[in-house]
Chain A
Amino acid sequence: MSTAAILFRVLLGVSAGLGLLGLVAWRSHERPWAQRVFNAAGAVPTVLGLAAFAARWAEAGHLPLFGVYEAALSLSLVVVATAWGFELRSRSTLGVAPVGAVLSALSLWHGLRYDATPSALTISERSLVMDGHAVVAWAAFGVLAVNAGLSAIILWRPEGERVSAKLVPTLELGFFLHTAMLVSGSLYRFLLFGRAWSFDPIETLGFITWTAYGTLLHMHFFAHWRGRRLAAWSLGLFLLLVVSYRGIVTWPSWSTYHVFDIGLREHLR
């Protein structure tokens, strides 16, 4: 097993362990220090994720962004790093790092079910616009994952309402990044196929998510949805986001240009 593959699995184990322990610590009112420790421990999967990302980069010879396995790693890194970044800003009092770690573990577990053999990039994957699109997509996912984490805190933690001030800024930033993802994807589609939009299911799913988050922001601004109600909807929409990012591999490979695994069906175990 290669170093990259070992680090991938170590990251999965550490993320799952730290995430679950951190979530248990959420309920531990008598030991606030325990919560802070697990929040600060978000640094561990972030560093491990960086190491796994670098190892895979060296192994594959290109940025590990394409294919379900590599995307799982990138997504996992971005989620733990964003969650930890938010913890740093709030001096480890937020509690979103454990959620990030659990989401990271789930993403890695999903990635492990697919072929990990590195392969050369095809023409369509060789472009700075494409790289930029992928990076913006991951960033949007990372921020909206933090938004989902904050929502979970509001819904299920005692005194969770204290983080509600951060719910809308993360929603707005996530919406901005998701828009940038759709725009860069459309731009690249135009460069590649001469059409900016073609109803590829990835576009359709991305657009559904965009309208859903846009509607939620309208409900916040005009119907004054906030607190637990806003949190519940944010969490629900995050599931939609997960489907739009990770569910695309369940579509037939002829229906989309967004399945990057070579011979995906053969490799699906």
Chain B
Amino acid sequence: MWTRASLWLRGVAPALGRQLGSWRLSVVLTVTVAFFYAHLAIFSRNSPSEMVRNIAALVVFWAIYGALLVNTAACLWLRFPTLKRELAAHPHLVATPPSWEVPLVVNDAVATEALRRRGFSVEGQGPGQLLGVRHRFASLGTWFFHGSFFVVAAGFLTTLAFREEYRLLIAVGEEFTGAPEQIVSRQGSGLVTLGLPDLRFTHERITPRFHEGQLLFTHLDSVVRLEGQAPVEAEINKPVWLSPATSLRLTGFGYAPRYELRVSGGPVVGSSFLKLRVFPPGVEDVFRPEGYPHRVSLQVLPDLVEEGGVPSTRSLNLVRPGFLVRVMRARVDLGQRLLRGGDDPFLFEGLELRFPEVQYWGEFVVLRDPGAPILLAGFLMALVGLGLKLRGRRQEVEWSAARGTLRGWGGEPPRDLSQGGA
């Protein structure tokens, strides 16, 4: 039985290989991919990108990506013998009929120089005869380009399996130590968990700048000092690289007001910085002073102005903060007030609530993505491959003084040579 199966496989395998590696199949698959993506583009008019991403992850897409990779692999495998011939340093086609022939009546030295100038690697075959080869690495370009599909696919799959991100809110002056309470959230594939990399840093500064008071960031730079290293700048589009696969990214910012609670006319009974989501102005967040049953709702107006008794903010810059405060105890509303600056207290039930200072906090993401460098390598490989192809396919020439012609295999005759110049 095994002998029969082996014979059958030997008979069928080449035909199957040819089918799998055929250019017709690759055309069918790429056109199918284009149509699938056209559907995605149409979907994206009405659906958020997360939903489009989910549609793109349907099994039918995976089947087509897989089929494309199989097709490319089979195609490259079938053409491997051709690659070896194309890369040969010496001309080997001279025994076959040339694809073109142009007159070239010159002497050896002029012919050698003319061919070298046009990129041919020239070798003499005795007086009055030269052989030349150029663009011999063009086929390697095809291999690089199509081979890059596998590297890119490996990159995406590695990302899918290993990508993890840890979201942190770190106030200015605060040190990140990796303590669990400093990690706001973790996102990952769930397939493999490598954990948060060993990282400690201090957030030294963050500077937001806006366009004409609009909610339009023109800059958001922060300075962090990694443990034992000099301070480095992180921008929203310029992460700090911790390793080729791990980066510390700045992704946002907000206000961290410090509340101070004291017994009226007495000592401070509670004080702490609060990393609240109160940016942009108008957004309200809530906190509970430690050890007290009260619930405080807060809005921060960073550049307070009052027009006709209505508080608003002149700009988004933290210049003269005002605080819109409402205090509740269970369902009892204890009132709402605008605090004009850090010394202005809100009085309730024998307590004074103030916000003497406001810091910025930065939102950072520690991103571990081992697929990213692989993906980058795949992209570079694709570009190098296409670059090698751009100069044209392998070309061989033979110049003969006796015939007074230049014969060529592959491509067109060099344009100026074909017009009789050298």
Residues of A within 8 A of B (CB): 119-124, 126-127, 129-130, 165, 172-173, 175-176, 179-180, 183, 186-188, 190-192, 194, 196-201, 204-205, 207-208, 211-212, 214-215, 218-219, 221-223, 251-252, 254-256, 262
Given A218-B23, A252-B45, do A199 and B40 touch, yes or no (CB 8 Å)? yes
Distance in Å: Cβ of A106 to nearest Cβ of chain B: 22
Distance in Å: Cβ of A165 to nearest Cβ of chain B: 7
When distances are taken between beta carbons in the complex, the residues of chain A under 8 Å from B238 are 127, 191
What residue in chain B is nearest A173 (Cβ atoms)?
B390
| Interface 1/0 per residue, B198-223 and A, CB below 8 Å | 00000000000001101011111000
When distances are taken between beta carbons in the complex, the residues of chain A under 8 Å from B56 are 199
16 example contacts (A-B, Cβ-Cβ < 8 A) are as follows A122-B211, A126-B237, A130-B237, A175-B386, A179-B383, A183-B379, A191-B239, A200-B49, A207-B37, A208-B37, A211-B34, A221-B23, A223-B23, A251-B44, A252-B45, A262-B216
Alpha-carbon distance A183/B238, docked complex (angstroms): 17
Given A186-B379, A215-B27, do A204 and B216 touch, yes or no (CB 8 Å)? no
Alpha-carbon distance A251/B23, docked complex (angstroms): 35
Distance in Å: Cβ of A7 to nearest Cβ of chain B: 25
When distances are taken between beta carbons in the complex, the residues of chain B under 8 Å from A173 are 390
Inter-subunit contact B237/A191 (CB<8 Å): yes
When distances are taken between beta carbons in the complex, the residues of chain B under 8 Å from A120 are 211-212, 216, 218
Alpha-carbon distance A114/B56, docked complex (angstroms): 33
Distance in Å: Cβ of B363 to nearest Cβ of chain A: 12
When distances are taken between beta carbons in the complex, the residues of chain B under 8 Å from A190 are 372
Alpha-carbon distance A214/B149, docked complex (angstroms): 13
When distances are taken between beta carbons in the complex, the residues of chain B under 8 Å from A207 are 37
Inter-subunit contact A204/B237 (CB<8 Å): no
Alpha-carbon distance A45/B62, docked complex (angstroms): 48
What residue in chain B is nearest A194 (Cβ atoms)?
B367
| Residues of B in contact with A, size category | 35 or more
Distance in Å: Cβ of B67 to nearest Cβ of chain A: 14
Inter-subunit contact B236/A192 (CB<8 Å): yes
When distances are taken between beta carbons in the complex, the residues of chain B under 8 Å from A176 are 383, 386-387, 389-390
B44-76 contacts to A (CB < 8 Å):
44-45, 48-49, 52-53, 56
Alpha-carbon distance A191/B239, docked complex (angstroms): 7
Checking B53, B155, B165, B369 against A199 with a beta-carbon cut-off of 8 angstroms, the contacting residue is B53
Checking B23, B33, B52 against A222 with a beta-carbon cut-off of 8 angstroms, the contacting residue is B23
Alpha-carbon distance A165/B415, docked complex (angstroms): 11
Inter-subunit contact B37/A211 (CB<8 Å): yes
Distance in Å: Cβ of B75 to nearest Cβ of chain A: 10
Alpha-carbon distance A179/B145, docked complex (angstroms): 11
Inter-subunit contact A201/B45 (CB<8 Å): yes
Checking A186, A212, A252 against B34 with a beta-carbon cut-off of 8 angstroms, the contacting residue is A212
When distances are taken between beta carbons in the complex, the residues of chain A under 8 Å from B41 are 201, 204-205, 208
Distance in Å: Cβ of B135 to nearest Cβ of chain A: 13
Given A211-B34, A218-B27, A219-B27, do A165 and B412 touch, yes or no (CB 8 Å)? yes
B249 CB within 8 Å of chain A:
yes
When distances are taken between beta carbons in the complex, the residues of chain A under 8 Å from B249 are 194
Inter-subunit contact B237/A214 (CB<8 Å): no
